[in-house]
Amino acid sequence: MRISAWLFAAALVGAAFGASPSNVTFDRDVLPLLEKNCQTCHRPGEIGPMPLLTYQQVRPWAKAIRAAVLQHKMPPWHADPNFGHFANDRSLSEADVKTLVAWIDNGTPEGSPKNAPKPLVFSDGWRIGEPDLVIEMPLAYNVPVTGIVNYQYIIVPSGFTEDKWVQAVEVRPGNRGVVHHAVLYSREPGGEYAAAAPKGEFFELAKYYKVTSRPKDERMFSAVSEPEHLQVYAPGADPIQLGPGQARLIKAGSDIIFEMHYTPNGTATTDRTKVGFIFAKQPVKERVHTIRINNGSILSIPPNEPDYRMQSQVYLTQDVRVIAFQPHMHLRGKSMEFSAVYPSGESEVLLRVPKYDFHWQMSYYLAQPKLLPKGTLFICKASWDNSPNNPNNPHPEKRVRGGFQSEDEMFAGFVDLGIAPGLADLKFFKDAPPEAVPQIITNTTADSLAKTISGGQN
Ligand code: HEC
């Protein structure tokens, strides 16, 4: 029965695609794609809702897979392919999409196991190798059966008595089924971030966050007022393994802060996440340091507004090497874009995320780090959808302001920089006036430009 349907479909598809996709089989053509692009999440214990390891598991999902890959919903990857090349790009190529679709349209032939790749071996061990140090959350978090859990924070002293350079960082969730993502920070002694929060117990940031006392043009530039980002963990993402000579700095006496986003999965359960560090064994030539371009405190999105826009722009006061981007907004987040106008007047979009999705906190690692010279205008633009058309929107009827709960909004364009290890002046920007942003690289139309609120750092 399947064979004849397959022959029939093969004739049709052969006509549409040329001869080759018509003999696509699961074992030879499809399984390697699933291993490479899908199984990190679609296997038992991971966040993918169903395992995609065997023919028997995959076959019933054929229709859903066809839709998901044609709409580019799976694998999740949100960078516009027209701008930039990214080392961790996990999107399927057009050829891969064709192969999957042809296989499904041909009636999902299994093929022969002798052509199948070896099953992947998923190790439960550390992917970075044996860590020099493991820090575990001192308590387990009780994840409820259902509902939305606000981000949970827990602070753990590092115990470091000297500055430490870390070359690799791996967050390992205690319970992969419910840890949607985690952000790991270090906070040096005297850091203002959640300074009044208790150590060793879970809390919500909104209660302890204080706007920094530093002068406006010094905020967000220094690791003193901002915690240092160590890793953004998301399922399917790789651990941080910096190149030779690169490292992140954790200063003596720092605290490690876990920011946990839990998604209940229908069963009451617990999680105790840990992080492993490998210290740099070679002299450090480049420090990797995360900054952000943002403007969130003046956010005020009217009810039902489908396209609220903001931008933030700064002049670089020294040369920087950009390594990666992490766009961050909340439930109404719609798009984010990073771009640069060089001192020569040339401009370039560095990353465009046209359809931001809060449920996927992603880092985009440039395939080639990008040098932005002193004097470059560095721009981050974002838009939000507070209309009922946004399926993530809990309350279209409410005005939304900047804040830390998922129901508040945020405008944070995180950027990983490569800087000189001994650099004492961690101030990389000065405010630029909104007029400095040329039309040429704007993605705003004339009429929505009028709505764009613009300013420097908040
Ligand atoms: C980074 C993790 C991740 C990767 C990689 C990934 N998925 Fe998914 N997938 C998920 C999660 C989580 C869901 C459920 C939530 C959602 O739909 O966004 C999902 C949902 C799906 C669904 C929809 C199931 C339904 O209920 O209709 C399909 C089909 C699917 N994935 C196929 C794939 C295929 C095929 C690949 C590889 C080409 C892939 N996924 C790669 C995490 C992933």
For a ligand 1 pocket test, name from 34, 36, 38 the mutation site with the most ligand atoms within 8 angstroms of its C-beta. 38
At 168, which CATH number? 2.60.120.310
Selected residue with higher pLDDT from 293 and 305: 305
Residue 301 and residue 213 share a domain: no
Residue 290 and residue 302 share a domain: yes
Residue 393 and residue 291 share a domain: yes
Domain boundary, last residue among 284, 306, 339: 284
Smallest Cα–Cα separation from 307: which of 346, 288, 333, 286? 333
State the pLDDT confidence band at 295, using cuts at 50, 70 and 90.
low
Counting atoms of ligand 1 from 1, which one is nearest the CA of 40?
5
Smallest Cα–Cα separation from 172: which of 287, 258, 265? 258
Residue 451 and residue 358 share a domain: yes
Residue 363 and residue 430 share a domain: yes
b/e per residue, 254-287, with b = 16+ CB within 10 A?
Answer: bbbbbbbbbbbbeeebebebbbbbbebeeebebb
Smallest Cα–Cα separation from 359: which of 180, 156, 170, 102? 180
Domain boundary, last residue among 284, 302, 322: 284
Counting atoms of ligand 1 from 1, which one is nearest the CA of 64?
29
Q: Is the CB of 97 under 6 A from ligand 1?
A: no
Answer yes or no: pTM beyond 0.75.
Answer: yes
Residue 147 and residue 231 share a domain: yes
Nearest protein Cα to ligand 1, atom 1: 236
Q: What is the pLDDT of residue 434?
A: 77
Q: From the CA of 48, how far away is ligand 1's center (Å)?
A: 5
State the pLDDT confidence band at 74, using cuts at 50, 70 and 90.
very high
Q: Give the SS3 label for residue 102.
A: helix
Gap between the Cα atoms of 49 and 60, Å rounded: 13
Residue 280 and residue 291 share a domain: no
How confident is the prediction for the chain on average, in pLDDT? 85
Q: Is the CB of 68 under 6 A from ligand 1?
A: yes
Tokens matching residue 353: 């995320």
Residue 112: pLDDT over 50: yes
120 within some domain: no
46 within some domain: yes
- Tell me the mean pLDDT in the region 362-367: 92
CA angle 293/335/91 to nearest 5° reads: 105
Q: Is the CB of 236 under 6 A from ligand 1?
A: yes
Total domains in the fold of the chain: 3
Q: From the CA of 166, how far away is ligand 1's center (Å)?
A: 32
Q: Is the CB of 64 under 6 A from ligand 1?
A: yes
Please, is 203 exposed, middle or buried when counting C-beta atoms within 10 Å of its C-beta (0-12, 13-18, 19+)?
middle
Residue 392 and residue 291 share a domain: yes
Residue 3: pLDDT over 60: no
**In terms of residue numbers, what domain contains 87?**
2-115
Residue 290 and residue 277 share a domain: no
Residue 198 and residue 217 share a domain: yes
Residue 13: pLDDT over 70: no
Q: Is the CB of 49 under 6 A from ligand 1?
A: yes
Residue 310 and residue 372 share a domain: yes
Nearest protein Cα to ligand 1, atom 13: 48
Q: Is the CB of 38 under 6 A from ligand 1?
A: yes
Counting atoms of ligand 1 from 1, which one is nearest the CA of 359?
18
277 within some domain: yes
Q: What is the pLDDT of residue 450?
A: 36
pLDDT tens per residue, range 121-156: 877 678 888 999 999 999 999 999 998 898 899 999
- Stated as kind and residue range, the H or E segment containing 15 is helix 2-17
What's the full length of the chain, in residues?
A: 458
149 within some domain: yes
Residue 202 and residue 278 share a domain: yes
State the pLDDT confidence band at 394, using cuts at 50, 70 and 90.
very high
Alpha-carbon torsion angle 219, 223, 227, 229, nearest 10: 120
At 390, which CATH number? 2.60.120.230
Domain boundary, last residue among 70, 87, 115: 115
Residue 312: pLDDT over 90: no
- Tell me the mean pLDDT in the region 336-349: 94
State the pLDDT confidence band at 19, using cuts at 50, 70 and 90.
very low
Q: What is the pLDDT of residue 210?
A: 65
